[in-house]
Amino acid sequence: MIAQDCVWVAADADQPVAFAATERFEDALHLWELAVRRDAQRRGVGRALLAAVVADAAARGLAAVTLTTFREIAWNGPLYRRLGFVELSEAELNPRLTAVRAREAALGLDVANRCAMRLPL
């Protein structure tokens, strides 16, 4: 992902406090991981990183940003919904996102409470 120029790091006085790791696919830029250090949360860093990811996807001419997340955890699904992401039904998943969900299930994640989301650009 770093080799693809697809990782964003937020720093406070040269100390990294957050990152967004994405990967470019034909249909979308996929957000694999967004994490803000606990002592740096609720200061807009997560939103700023997401804005950078969305702007980057648009600049690359991609049609969407996709991700998978927990549907109900306040700072997961509801946050992404407020930012314009739409939950995809199982029928709407493309083979790539179906494979992501299958891998999460294999890793033991509670996929019943997780969803795939898409922000069209």
Ligand X SMILES: CC(C)(COP(=O)(O)OP(=O)(O)OC[C@H]1O[C@@H](n2cnc3c(N)ncnc32)[C@H](O)[C@@H]1OP(=O)(O)O)[C@@H](O)C(=O)NCCC(=O)NCCS
**Which residues contact ligand X (rule: CB under 6 A)?**
34-36, 41-47, 69, 74-76, 79
- In the complex with ligand X, the residue whose CB is nearer, 8 or 25, is 8
- In the complex with ligand X, the residue whose CB is nearer, 41 or 94, is 41
Q: How far is the CB of 104 from ligand X (least distance, A)?
A: 12
- In the complex with ligand X, the residue whose CB is nearer, 61 or 108, is 108
Q: How far is the CB of 58 from ligand X (least distance, A)?
A: 20
Measured CA to CA, the distance from residue 49 to residue 29 in angstroms comes to 14
- In the complex with ligand X, the residue whose CB is nearer, 43 or 96, is 43
Edge-to-edge strand ranges of the sheet holding 114-120: 7-12, 15-24, 29-36, 64-70, 114-120, 86-88
Tokens representing residue 103 in the block: 């891998």
In angstroms, how far is the first alpha carbon of the chain from the final one?
21
Q: How far is the CB of 5 from ligand X (least distance, A)?
A: 21
Q: How far is the CB of 23 from ligand X (least distance, A)?
A: 14
| Continuous segment of H or E residues that includes residue 101 | helix 95-106
Pairing of strands 64-70, 7-12: unpaired
